[in-house]
Structure 1
Amino acid sequence: MSKITVYQLFTITFIFQLGTTIIFGFGGHAGKDAWIGELISCFLGVFLILIYIALMRMNPGLTLVQWFPAQFGRWIGTPIAFLYPVLFIYIVGRVIADIRDMVSTTILFNTPLIIISGVFVFIIAYCVYGGLERVSRLGEVFLPIVLLMFCIEVILLLGSKVMHVHNLLPVLEYGWEPVLKTVYPSGITQSFGETIIFAMFWTETKEPNKVMKITILATLLSGIMVTLFDVMAISVFGDMFSGFLYPLYTLLSLISIGKFIENLQMFGVLYLLMTALLKCIVLMFAAVKGIQQLTNMKGYRVLVIPSCALSLILGMTMSKNIAEHIYRQHFEILVPYVWVPMYLVLPTILLIVTWLRQSMK
């Protein structure tokens, strides 16, 4: 596998953490205080990522799926490790469903859903088949585009005079409870807990000693960017912020300068397509590499097409509508019963076991 530079690691980590959050917004349940929830989640997310990095340093040269067999033994550790590639393939399916729903309801109204999803999956398979170097170069291409679009959006919103600071007030009108509910469990696990996936790539970085600094920097910057998105959306919509399914997409529809620069919702679609695409590519690459390492296969490419096909089937069949997809499956099932154990509980137990074993030695 080719080695990646620390800059490439930064780009894919930053864009991965933006993911679908950049268009769905963050912390709608907290209403006007969603931005506070994002800042707290980012702060706690840094500590969670430090746990992952500590595990990397305590298991030198090993990837995420190799930590568990190394510390728990083959019979216990291998089945646990297999859960991660399975989860990654499932999450790709969820993002495909996100793309399917948004693109079909915003720009391609009459296009068959299988065409939208199929093209997206084909691009994922092509990039994963190309290897880690192609994935990392994609991050280098996407990062300046995302940042440039963000700056243009901020300038145009300011020029449209639709943002009003008083919509952010009063701060903590309903106390800390709504904010803390957005922070845990979904705020910490989404984006920040998902960063555990990069434990599959940290061993392939040219300068492993800089992994912690680069990952923490990317985490802080992505957290700040999502916070700014929330602040902009809330300053425009106020209490209505929590009622929008795609608040950041809706926000772009309000840009109007001289009745000439208008209807820039395409920016929102481009945001989602770029960040979601890179996120899916990283997830799928980690999944097939994880399966390869656990089964001692010679190469991972033979797994790409079956894994992508499985994700496509999941994306087309896992939910009947957007409400079921997001509120029922994501918030009520996936986050508390899958993400919390796999992103918080298992790594913490693994850290304790690893520390105890090394202390005994």
Structure 2
Amino acid sequence: MGKHTLRVSELVICLSLFEIGSTTLFFMGSEAKQDAWLAMLIGALAGLILLILHLSIYRQEPNLDLFQLFRRYTGKYMGSLLNFMFVGYFAYETSRNVRDLGEVTLLTLLTRTPLWIVSLIAILVVANTVRYGYKVFFLICVILFPGMVVGYAIISILFPATGLLHLEFFLPILENGWMPVFKAAIPEIVSFPFGQVVLFLVFYPHARRAKNLPKAVITVYLLTALALTFLNQLIVLVMGHKLASFSTLPLLQSVQLIRLTEVFERTDALFILLFFLGLGIKMAAFFTGAVIGLERITGVSFKTWVFPMGAVIYGVSFLSPNYTHHIIVGRDITLNTSSPFFQIVLPLVLFIIMKIKRAPDNTA
């Protein structure tokens, strides 16, 4: 896999779509109630600190990806162990996205189709995309990006145009103080979606040498965070925090309320399309990261691992017996335990080790 084959614009566009991913499926920061927007902003700022940490790691070794860094700075055996753990983390996140896509499809479109068929089709499509390599995947993101932006812009405009927004749902601000806001933001919103950009430590070295890479990444991250905060708060302004908290698909249910004469009566179809595209991009990104990791560890070619990894991801996606269990495991366990370990602890340890081992070179 060649180095420096990605444009910075391609990388940041993929990062933006990756962040959007499945985020719009949920009402983020529900514990903060009408102050969910504050929780989103706090989570985004905490995620920005993590992003700066990741970019600092990249700046020290711009030619090495996440897996090569751990191998170089923690040794052959410990590095391989940590790399296998990251492969498992990326694969598990992919499997969660496969399950999300399958369950949403059954709830909204193919109500009589078995889950295993929907999930099988999804993993085959994504695996086929991954098989062509990260370059093709990033180009697909560039092609889809304008449509995603226009689609969400249309939905955002139609809410006020149809009189669905209730600004009084914003109030009262900080009714119960800052504590519920911080509890809602940390660690859940940091872990999902903002901390997941740790994946891009796999892709940064493939970008063409450009001094503006960190600046571009941070700028797009902030713009995407603001967009997600806005979309998340639309749910509150349409449904109110009480209804939104108990809704399975809150933004979709909000979109289904849009009625504008006889022109826009099925905007839910537009949202489902946007959601599927975003979720597919997130699946492909994590999937690609996992396969690159296996290539780095074993030396076996990238393409060889695609379908075996796809089979593993497909099987893991059925570990939860039902969708409720799947959500509980994700929100109560994954976001509070494993995600911070991979997004915060391991990158921070790597950064410290790199600083210690490179210190003699800096003083020479």
- Whether TM-score is above 0.5 comes out as yes
The residue that corresponds to 1:30 in the other structure is: 32
Equivalents in 1 of 2:304, 2:27: separation in Å? Answer: 37
1:341 aligned to 2:341?
yes
Instruction: Check conservation: 1:31, 1:241, Cα contact below 8 A.
Output: no
Spell out, residue by residue over 1:57-78, the C-alpha distance to the aligned partner (whole angstroms, 9 max, x if none): 2223111011112111112222
Q: Which residue is 2:252 aligned to?
A: 249
Q: Aligned-pair distance for 1:350?
A: 1.4
Q: How does 1:76-87 map to 2 (within 5 A)?
A: 76-87=78-89
Match of 1:294 among 297, 319, 335: 297
Query: What is the CA–CA distance in structure 2 between the aligned matches of 1:336 and 1:151, rounded to whole Å?
Result: 32
| Displacement of 1:26 | 1.5
Partner Cα distance (2:219, 2:24) in 1? 18
Aligned to 2:336, the other structure's residue is in SS state helix
1: distance between equivalents of 2:348 and 2:143? 35
Q: TM-score, normalised by structure 1?
A: 0.96
Q: 1:219 aligns with which of 207, 218, 221?
A: 221
Cα contact 2:87–2:294 (8 A) shared by 1: yes
Equivalent runs, 1:62-141 vs 2, <5 Å: 62-141=64-143
- The aligned amino acid for 2:39 is G
The equivalent residue for 1:318 is 319
- Gaps in structure 1 of 5+ consecutive residues: none
Corresponding residue to 2:274 among 263, 271, 274: 271
User: Which residue of structure 2 aligns with residue 179 of structure 1?
Assistant: 181
Aligned equivalents of 1:244 and 1:252: distance in 2?
Answer: 13
Please state whether the residue corresponding to 1:320 is helix, strand or coil. Answer: coil
Q: Secondary structure at the match of 2:257?
A: coil
CA contact (8 A) 2:24 2:228 kept: yes
Q: Report the CA distance between 1:132 and its aligned residue.
A: 1.6
Q: Provide the rounded CA distance (Å) in 2 between the counterparts of 1:6 and 1:144.
A: 17
What do residues 284-325 of structure 1 show as CA deviations (whole Å, max 9, x unaligned)?
11111111012222x21010000011111111x221222211
The corresponding residue for 2:10 is 8
* Distance across 2 between alignment mates of 1:57 and 1:154: 37
Q: After the TM superposition, which of the residue ranges 211-220 and 121-130 deviates more from structure 2? A: 211-220
The 10-residue stretch of structure 1 (184-193 or 159-168) with the greater mean CA deviation from structure 2: 184-193
Q: Does 1:285 align with 2:326?
A: no
Q: Which amino acid aligns with 1:244?
A: S
Measured against aligned partners, the alpha-carbon deviations of 1:229-287 in whole angstroms (never above 9, x if no partner) come to 12211111123222222111111011011255223211221122111101111111111
Aligned to 2:147: 145
Distance 1:173 1:243 in 2: 20
Which residue in 1 is equivalent to 2:198? 196
Amino acid at match of 1:349: V
String of CA shifts for 1:117-150, please: whole Å, max 9, x gaps: 1111111111111112210111012211111011
Work out the CA distance in 2 between the residues paired with 1:145 and 1:8: 15
User: Closer, same or farther in 2 for the Cα pair 1:191/1:211, shift >3 Å?
Assistant: farther
Distance in structure 1 (CA, Å) of the matches to 2:63 and 2:8: 17
* SS at 1:262 equivalent: coil
Corresponding residue SS for 1:209: coil
1:249/1:268 contact within 8 Å kept: yes
Query: Which 5+ residue runs of structure 2 have no aligned equivalent?
Result: none
Q: For the residues of structure 1 that align with 2:106 and 2:72, how far apart are their CA atoms?
A: 45
- State the 1:24 CA deviation: 1.6
* Aligned: 1:359 with 2:341: no
CA distance in structure 2 between the partners assigned to 1:214 and 1:312 by the alignment:
35
Question: How far apart, CA to CA, are the structure 2 residues paired with 1:279 and 1:141?
Answer: 15
**Paired letter, 2:330:** H
Q: CA deviation at 1:208?
A: 4.1
Residues 102 and 119, structure 2, Cα contact 8 Å, conserved in 1:
yes
Using the aligned pairs only, state the percent identity.
Answer: 25
| Shift of residue 101, structure 1, vs aligned partner | 0.8
Give the secondary-structure state (helix, strand or coil) at the position aligned to 1:257.
Answer: coil
- The alignment covers a number of residue pairs equal to 358
